[in-house]
Structure 1
Amino acid sequence: MPELPEVEVTRRGLADPVTGATIRALHLGKPLRWPLGIAPAALVGQRVLAVRRRGKYLLLDLQEGLLLVHLGMSGSLRFASELPPRGVHDHFEMVTDRGTLRLHDPRRFGAVVWAAGEDDPRARKLLDALGVEPLGDGFDFSAFHAGLRASRMPIKQLLLAGRLVVGVGNIYASEVLFLARIRPTTRASRIGEQRARRLHAAIREVLARAVQQGGSTLRDFHGPDGGSGHFQTQTHVYGREGLPCTVCGTPVQMLRQGQRSSYFCPHCQRP
């Protein structure tokens, strides 16, 4: 599933070519997770003012309203002056005077939703419950530590929930917890200040490094230029069950938490 780094890579790749473009036509394929919410013809002539990100949502600000784009489980966006004919898994296409933006989503869990603004109930339903942005100035340690102390959830599942801090997906949560030397099953409220500071710093470090490496391409994700991410080739624990820990040599273990795989070093990561 595309997570925050993949969405941020997508945003950076789209921001310059798409900002300022005027919509000439919209084409919809099979229904996505949620309906567009407006007649496609109503967006023709609108100019894209900015391309932003909130959590795993891309926000395309238009002259009137905005488009919220979610890549779902398998989606990716491609923008080019010329693209091949639409395929069976191409479910949204926005033709502009600068090129065509196309959503490719084989599993159709993604979505493109129009809202009149961020105060529109459709936008608030998607954005209001999101936690703080981990790469922004608002990721305050004191508030983060207070959120840990207030939760009885295992730390891995608290990170994945996205209510305390947004965008720490499965692959990145395993890597973050390894760097912070915390076992994924540790109850969040048991994490003291020293370990919480390591965790806070590790979230920033891992996500920033993932963005620099183009995100992770496990199966479907590709950037707007069609390129793959490379973070998955340099993980310390994720996907390395049975292989030696890169620090101590102990075999990496895997366990299931909420139907997700968690990878950890039993020696380096203490409960």
Structure 2
Amino acid sequence: MPELPEVENVKRSLESLVIGKVIESVDVRLPRIVRCPDDPRLFEAMLAGITITGFGRRGKYLLFFVPPFTLVSHLRMEGQYRLADTGDEEAPHTHVVFRFTDGTELRYRDVRQFGTMDLVLTQDEYPQGLKSLGPEPFDKSLDGRELYKRLHARRAPIKAVLLDQTCIAGLGNIYVDEALFLSGIHPERSASVLTKKQCDGLLENIRDVLARAIEAGGSSIKTYVNGYGRHGGFQMALNVYGREGQACTRCGSEIVKLRVAGRGTHVCLHCQRRPRRRRAVVGAQATDKGRPQGKLVVPSKNADGGSIR
């Protein structure tokens, strides 16, 4: 958190608030947030006198276009940008301040201090995390067939694969849980066993839930606000995420919380059937009926180190 819908809403709010503003000075108060250049004083000097000409987004990364540079900002868990007038009271945990020539300033606040900023020449390579991202969920090049190719070779649980940003960019815990529920797919199911039809439906549901979340301003589960300081509203429309112990919106069964891929995961066990374990035959020999004989065992781990589904 924030995920693609939240970062998209931050981008849109900043587009209306600060495009065209000239940076007079920058004050970096927590040096480790700035990764590139490695000297925060150089970061401040490089941005002085620069005009913000636009914004972009790639996955969960927010891009400031400040020619000849691009500022790559990753909000991580709780990063926030707020526009204020110079002299207004500052919120605690304000770590970077961009002061503009018109008497306003853009403040970056991050309670958890996990966010990062990289200032690079626009023609240079982006940071590694950004370069390795998979396609955007709404890319025309991404269809059910392409998603099937990306999933078919992965034996890890589908939830783990969708959280991997090299598969599809921008998905996180909230919207993976929601998309899997809409698709009737248990999050522990191996990605490799999904059919082409299931991949078509999964991609459709990923796009549907993301589009509705963007329209609603994102989900304010904890501290998320956009550049105006406004909370999102999509948390009111969530089917499973954060609804442990409540009734499923589809069948009325109780929503349960599991641990999948190291993340808290919400699921309806009636609408999303838990996958069966496959049984393997050890020392099998063919009989005259073509059926194997031998001892049946249930392996505990697959090649990826996860449970076989």
TM-score range (shorter-chain normalised) is: over 0.9
Letter in 2 for 1:199: L
1:153 maps to amino acid: A
The reply to whether residue 107 of structure 1 matches residue 112 of structure 2 is yes
Any conservation in 2 of the 1:239–1:263 contact (CA below 8 Å)? yes
Q: Deviations over 1:227-259 (max 9, x none)?
A: 111211221111112211111111112110132
1:16 aligns with 2:16: yes
In structure 2, the residue matched to 1:240 is: 243
Pair 1:268 & 2:271 matched: yes
Query: RMSD of the TM alignment (CA)?
Result: 1.7
Query: How far apart are 1:146 and its partner, in Å?
Result: 0.7
Is contact 1:32–1:110 with CA below 8 Å preserved after alignment?
no
SS of alignment partner, residue 35 of structure 2: coil
Q: Pick the structure with greater CA Rg.
A: 2
**Aligned equivalent of 2:46:** 42
Match of 2:202 in 1: 199
Does structure 1 conserve the Cα–Cα contact (< 8 Å) formed by 2:76 and 2:114? yes
Q: One-letter code of the match for 1:16?
A: S
Cα distance in 2 for residues equivalent to 1:254 and 1:157: 16
Whether the 8 Å CA contact 1:118–1:124 is kept in 2: the answer is no
**Structure 2 gaps, min length 5:** 276-309
Residue 34 (structure 1) shift: 4.1
CA deviation map 1:187-245 (0-9, x unaligned): 01111011111100011011111111111112211111011112112211111122111
* Counterpart residue number, 1:94: 98
Query: Displacement, 1:41?
Result: 2.1
Deviation at 1:36, TM superposition (A): 4.6
Residue of structure 2 equivalent to 1:179: 182
**How many equivalent residue pairs?**
269
Q: Which structure carries more relative contact order (alpha carbon 8 Å, separation 6+)?
A: 1
Give the Cα–Cα distance (whole angstroms) in 2 for the partners of residues 244 and 73 of structure 1: 28
CA contact (8 A) 1:135 1:208 kept: no
2-structure distance, mates of 1:218, 1:14: 21
| 2:56 pairs with one of 52, 62, 65 | 52
Q: Which amino acid aligns with 1:47?
A: T
Contact 1:90 1:105 in 2 (8 A): yes
Uncovered stretches (5+) of structure 1, i.e. residues with no partner: none
The corresponding residue for 1:85 is 89
- Separation (CA, whole Å) in 2 of partners of 1:199 and 1:226: 33
How much does 1:72 deviate?
Answer: 1.6
Instruction: Give the superposition deviation at 1:171.
Output: 0.9
- Residue 147 of structure 2 corresponds to 144
Alignment of 1:3 with 2:8, yes or no, is no
Q: 1:21 and 1:191 mapped to 2: Cα distance?
A: 49
For residues 199 and 139 of structure 2, what CA distance do their matches in structure 1 show? 18
C-alpha contact (below 8 Å) 1:26/1:92 kept by paired residues: yes
Quick check: 1:221 aligned with 2:224? yes
% of aligned pairs identical? 38
> C-alpha distance in 2, partners of 1:2/1:9?
10
- TM-score, normalised via structure 2 length: 0.82
Asked if structure 2 preserves the Cα contact closer than 8 Å seen for 1:32 and 1:109, the reply is: no
CA contact (8 A) 1:25 1:96 kept: yes
TM-score w.r.t. the length of structure 1 is 0.93
Letter in 1 for 2:184: R
- Which ranges of 4 or more aligned residues in structure 1 deviate by more than 6 Å? none
1:129 to 129, 132, 136: 132
